[in-house]
Amino acid sequence: MEQMTAAHRTLPFGTMVRVHDLDNEKSVDVRINDRGPFVDGRIIDLSHAAARAIDMIGPGTARVQLQILSAPSAVQPAEFGVQVGAFRNRDSAERLRRAMETKYGWARLVTRTDTPGLWHVVVGKEPTQDGASALAARIRSENSSVTAAFVVRLDSV
């Protein structure tokens, strides 16, 4: 929390990003070390220290622009999936996982250090972000019970 770090759904871990607040013109450089945010309309989740550096603690959200400063030299080839749910109850997560696997093929349960006690259901293995975005749109259109479907990078889930 007190390091200059951030979470992003698809950028490789170790990527350095400049986050520029479009309203107050302040910027902060952060290292991607986690996955998220999993809230529609948000593109990056800053650590407490990084948010404080650009005066984002009070409002909690801001309009920002990202600039990639550097990426790790040894990045695994990317694969992308779609997170379709997160549950405190593993049985509930497993039911959704089985249903998604039956309908869309590959699906698994994932736990993350940033959300202890939650089981995330991730569907699909796509070689491109566009392919995963298309899968997410298909899942949303075919499943009224799935209210959020986010593209995530699979090499770190």
pLDDT above 90: percentage of residues in the chain = 65
56-61 mean pLDDT:
84
What local confidence, expressed as pLDDT, does residue 119 receive?
Answer: 92
Other CB atoms within 10 A of residue 110 CB: 20
**Which CATH number applies to 5-70?**
2.40.40.10
What local confidence, expressed as pLDDT, does residue 59 receive?
Answer: 79
Q: Name the segment(s) of the chain with CATH classification 2.40.40.10.
A: 5-70
Q: Residue 28: which of 54, 57, 10, 2 has the closest Cα?
A: 54
pLDDT above 70: percentage of residues in the chain = 96
What local confidence, expressed as pLDDT, does residue 115 receive?
Answer: 74
- Alpha carbon separation from 104 to 17, 18, 81, 118 (Å, rounded): 34, 36, 11, 22
Q: Which of these CATH numbers, 3.40.190.10, 3.40.50.2000, 3.30.43.10, 3.30.70.1070, describes 80-156?
A: 3.30.70.1070
* pTM of the predicted model as reported, rounded to 2 decimal places: 0.69
Q: Name the segment(s) of the chain with CATH classification 3.30.70.1070.
A: 80-156
82-105 mean pLDDT:
94
What local confidence, expressed as pLDDT, does residue 39 receive?
Answer: 80
